[in-house]
Amino acid sequence: MNADLGSPRELTGLQRRRALYQPDLPPCLEGTRVRVELGDPTTTIDPKCADIVAQAFPHTFGQKLVHFLESNTMVSDTQVIEEHPPIRVGVLFSGRQSPGGHNVIWGTYDAMKAQNPHNVLLGFVGGTEGLFAKKTLEITDDVLSSYKNQGGFDLLGRTVDQIRTTEQVNAAMSTCCDLSLDGLIIIGGVTSNSDAAQLAETFAKHNCKTKVTGVPVTLSGDLKNQFVETTVGFDTVCKVNSQLISNVCLDAVSAGKYYYFVRLMGGKASHVAFECALQSHPNMVILGEEVALSKLTLMEITNKICEGVEARAAQGKYHGVLLIPEGLIESIPEMYALIQEINNLHSNNIPEDEIPSQLSPWAAALFKFLPPFIRRELVLHQESDNSAQLSQIDTEQLLAHLVEAEMNKRTKEGNYKGRKFSSVCHFFGSQARGSLPSNFDCNYAYVLGHICVQLVATGLNGYMATVTNLKDSTNKWRCAAVPLTAMMSVRRHLRGPGAVPIGRPVIHPSPVDNRRP
């Protein structure tokens, strides 16, 4: 474990100024008397998967929706939390760094101490591995003082992002029992919250008193559904990236001779690229969801970019900015099939250096066509969710390479008479995910932390803290909690009425909906 985790930070002047910001709370969470309303029982996002999810989660499926009301609101079937015996709660980061994560811990700590000064909040140092190893740090005012409203996850850090195997689940349960935890808060995205649901089910099955709560914190914004409007970190990441893209746009206009290929973090969905395009107005943006829907090949995408370059050249413009989502590579049908073959070989423990020779003939031909740097990146070992390491695949350089080759070809054939095509490539990743969170993300994360404490106090297990009406001011936010199983579904093999559910129930990433007008 990193010895610096949890140590007081030496803040810069800007960071000290940021630390002074006090997040707002909606009226329903103010004070120590919180009114909890239980709503309707839940099923799943995809009704066709309800039986499968119910069978996999018999102890936590079908739980009721939860709403938090102002203390003076009189509604039937409500519970007022007035008694606050001491509780012990654990919290960990499970997922990529996302601006605002520290404020979830801050909100949790403030809510716990407001309820009962004897409450104890323990942070697991090193994420899930810290959970398995029982490595904790007690959260205090002194520990929190230099992490309020700050970026990164360096208060506690993170390691492997999964609690999935029987051994891992049992280790987590052993820790929670040994530390006598009343609650466990897991901060992360779709994978982490799917694991939280499994953990909650196992705890309920074995009568472990620890109640598990998930918090939607991920910069990619893909944990989005009818219950979750957005995730902590998405607002900040899009604003920071949009500023960087706008700077690049001005540089492109100033130089007048370069095309900038900018790849943006965001996992398999294109939410970050789409939002940044709306904010910064680049010349082109490729959405992975559109590529997948249209079944565009790698060469078709290349030709579309070249057509855009030629159209701008006809206007005397030899510069531009193109945005590329991180997950684009998996949206291209033939690339997706190649990556799946490679992933299967990884699953069969084929060494990286032997993978190229084990590919099927068509996959081997495509693999050989690709530039050497892409070949090296494609065979890298999988992420913890068994997917390709998208952040390590330089899709922007691949496209720039192919576009340059095609433009040179068109020039040689006399079909293009403009200036020589020149490209500059960027990957905007850690520049944004470690940045100071926006006021919105500071407030949102702090409020979610408060909700987590109310869920533990109410004895609810297997829920995600949620807030809706986020477009309005904080005093109009509606605070709630949703069973994690209500967000689950099972992927289906093939499309149409004969589709067969496969795999285990999980919370799936939500793609950009490009069918909307």
User: Do 35-66+87-233+438-494 and 237-433 share a fold?
Assistant: yes
- CA–CA separation, 399 and 37 (whole Å): 52
Whether the predicted pLDDT of 488 surpasses 80: yes
Question: In the chain, where are the structural domains located?
Answer: 35-66+87-233+438-494, 237-433
Position 1 scores a pLDDT of 43
Q: What is the mean pLDDT of residues 234-242?
A: 97
> pLDDT confidence of 493, banded at 50, 70, 90?
very low
Whether the predicted pLDDT of 83 surpasses 80: no
Position 385 scores a pLDDT of 54
> pLDDT confidence of 15, banded at 50, 70, 90?
very high
State the CATH architecture for 237-433.
Answer: 3-Layer(aba) Sandwich (3.40)
Name the DSSP class of 468. Answer: E
Position 497 scores a pLDDT of 40
The alpha carbon of 369 is separated from its chain's Cα centroid by a whole number of angstroms, namely 32
Whether the predicted pLDDT of 254 surpasses 90: yes
> pLDDT confidence of 7, banded at 50, 70, 90?
confident
Distance in angstroms between the alpha carbons of the first and the last residue of the chain: 49
Name the burial class of residue 315, with classes exposed (0-12), middle (13-18) and buried (19+) by CB atoms within 10 angstroms of its CB. exposed
Cβ-Cβ contacts under 8 Å for 222 (sequence gap 6 or more): 189, 190, 231, 266, 267, 268, 269, 271, 509, 510, 511
Question: Is beta strand 211-216 parallel, antiparallel or unpaired with respect to 259-264?
Answer: unpaired
Looking up tokens 């705890």 gives 203
The alpha carbon of 178 is separated from its chain's Cα centroid by a whole number of angstroms, namely 30
If you average pLDDT over every residue of the chain, what do you get?
91
Whether the predicted pLDDT of 154 surpasses 70: yes
Q: What is the mean pLDDT of residues 30-38?
A: 85
Whether the predicted pLDDT of 285 surpasses 50: yes
Whether the predicted pLDDT of 73 surpasses 60: no
35-66+87-233+438-494 in CATH: which number?
3.40.50.450
Q: What is the mean pLDDT of residues 431-435?
A: 89
Cβ-Cβ contacts under 8 Å for 445 (sequence gap 6 or more): 23, 100, 101, 102, 103, 104, 106, 107, 217, 232, 437
Whether the predicted pLDDT of 491 surpasses 90: no
- 180 versus 383: the higher-pLDDT residue is 180
pLDDT digits 0-9 by tens, 309-326? 999 999 999 999 999 999
pLDDT digits 0-9 by tens, 346-398? 888 888 889 999 999 999 999 999 999 999 888 886 665 556 677 788 999 99
> pLDDT confidence of 515, banded at 50, 70, 90?
confident
- CA–CA separation, 479 and 186 (whole Å): 18
> pLDDT confidence of 507, banded at 50, 70, 90?
very high
Position 500 scores a pLDDT of 46
Position 311 scores a pLDDT of 96
Position 387 scores a pLDDT of 62
CB atoms within 10 A of CB 336: 14
- 496 versus 183: the higher-pLDDT residue is 183
Name the burial class of residue 2, with classes exposed (0-12), middle (13-18) and buried (19+) by CB atoms within 10 angstroms of its CB. exposed
Least confident span in 44-58, 80-94, 214-228: 80-94
Percent of the chain at pLDDT exceeding 70: 92
Q: What is the mean pLDDT of residues 420-430?
A: 93
> The pTM is what?
0.92
